[in-house]
Amino acid sequence: MVRYFSIWVDKGAMRLLMNNLRGLFLVICGLSFLLPLGGCSDYDEENIVDSGPTYSFLVETQSTEQSYDLLDVFFTDISNGWAVGDNGTILHTTDGGRQWIPQNSHTSSTLYGVCFINGDTGWVVGASDTAKCTFDGGMTWLDLPVHVSATLRAVTFLDSLVGWAVGDGVRLRTANGGAMWLPTFTDDTLFGVSFPNLSHGWIVGDRGVILRTDNGGNRWTPQWTGLSVPFHDITTIDADNGWVVGVVGTILHTNDGGTNWSGQDSQTSQALHGIAFWDNQTGLAVGDSGMVRATLDGGNIWSTVSSGVTG
């Protein structure tokens, strides 16, 4: 059973509609509770459970008849989104998540990452060097030649041609929509990749790995945080500002392109798996046991949000 959450964060008269939170999910009892933000009606309201800033948490849940373990989600707008997971699962919604329709991926491999640049063109990656693309919104998924034996855990595309995929011991770059991938091998497992523009990008992984490029991936430079814990996800809004999450409640922030990373108090010691920011002030982080953290000041204060689920 999958429960889908559609959320608005509300502060006074200012409603912050947040879309496109790729990779934001909760790991609860072996299930992944998706948190794309957008598309809502007939919501139940829950409140922040601590004394932080005042938010509203507007939640709609639904169940499907079939059980899925979902690992990533991507929305192109308030209505249209895709979710991927185990056994080659691809689900598509056109109504903000009220209904999810399975799509035929023609694979049984676990899919870990999904990315779309519009309502038609998208990519998925997963276990056993799986990479696929679609040009018709997922009605047809085509195999892409990766030519590496590795699990791919995240994918991002900047346009119809330039994209990146990362995974177990490898990072891959394509300049032709995935028809050909150029691999670079590493000893690390890489979990997340984010490009705010064509030139600047970051990759994160286990053992505290953070890599940055200033030239579209021709050269990657390690950045040091003083931590050696696994980093699970990264979000960036421009060439200077980014956030990283990982185990034991780790949240790191940079405002100088990663020259310096500073810790932020997440108010938890549980693992964080996903993070996304709408701008340099407003963001969400999610993790184990139904945990959601929200900020409206760039992460100086992370407040607990009641998600209505526990693990």
Number of domains the chain contains: 1
Q: Is the pLDDT of residue 311 over 80?
A: no
Residues 6+ positions from 124 with CB-CB distance below 8 Å:
82, 84, 90, 105, 111, 113, 114, 130, 131, 132, 133, 141, 155
**Spatial separation of the C-alpha atoms in residues 218 and 220, rounded to whole Å:** 7
Residue 171 lies in a domain: yes
4 domain residue, yes or no? no
> Distances from the Cα of 184 to the Cαs of 102, 111, 134, in angstroms?
33, 21, 25
Mean pLDDT, range 62-77, rounded to an integer: 66
Q: What's the confidence (pLDDT) of residue 306? A: 62
- Tell me what the mean pLDDT of segment 54-80 comes to: 59
Report pTM: 0.80
Nearest-5° angle of CA 254, CA 171, CA 221?
40
| pLDDT of res. 106 | 97
What DSSP character marks residue 4?
B
pLDDT of residue 60: 40
Does residue 3 fall inside a structural domain? no
pLDDT value for 63: 47
For residue 191, being part of any structural domain is answered with yes
Residue 310 lies in a domain: no
Task: Indicate whether 2 belongs to any domain.
Answer: no
Q: How far apart are CA 293 and CA 94, in angstroms?
A: 27
Regarding predicted confidence, which is higher, 136 or 48?
A: 136
With pLDDT > 70 as the criterion, what percentage of the chain qualifies?
75
Whether the CB-CB separation of 275 and 237 falls below 8 Å is answered with no
Look at residue 67 in the predicted model and tell me its pLDDT: 57
pLDDT at residue 307, rounded to an integer: 53
* 256-259-265 Cα angle (round to 5): 75
Position 77 scores a pLDDT of: 76
Between the alpha carbon of residue 87 and those of residues 105, 108, 260, the distances in Å are 9, 4, 40
Rounded-to-integer distance, Cα 166 and Cα 209, Å: 13
Note the pLDDT of residue 304.
Answer: 82
Q: What is the pLDDT of residues 192-230, one digit of tens each?
A: 999 999 999 999 999 999 999 999 999 999 999 999 999
31-34 vs 25-28, strand pairing mode:
antiparallel
Residues of the domain holding 89 = 9-60+69-305
Contacts of 27 (CB under 8 A, 6+ apart): 271, 273, 287, 288, 311
CATH of the domain at 252: 2.130.10.10
Please check the confidence at residue 144 and state whether its pLDDT lies above 90.
yes
The pLDDT tens digits of the residues spanning 170-184 come to 999 999 999 999 999
Residue 153 has pLDDT above 60, yes or no: yes
Q: Is residue 1 part of a domain?
A: no
Confidence of residue 61 (pLDDT cuts 50, 70, 90): very low
In this predicted structure, the answer to whether residue 111 has a pLDDT above a threshold of 70 is: yes
Mean pLDDT of the chain: 79
Angle at the Cα of 150 (from 162 to 209), degrees rounded to 5?
Answer: 70
pLDDT of 5-58, one tens digit each?
A: 344 333 332 233 333 333 344 333 223 334 433 322 233 333 323 333 333 333
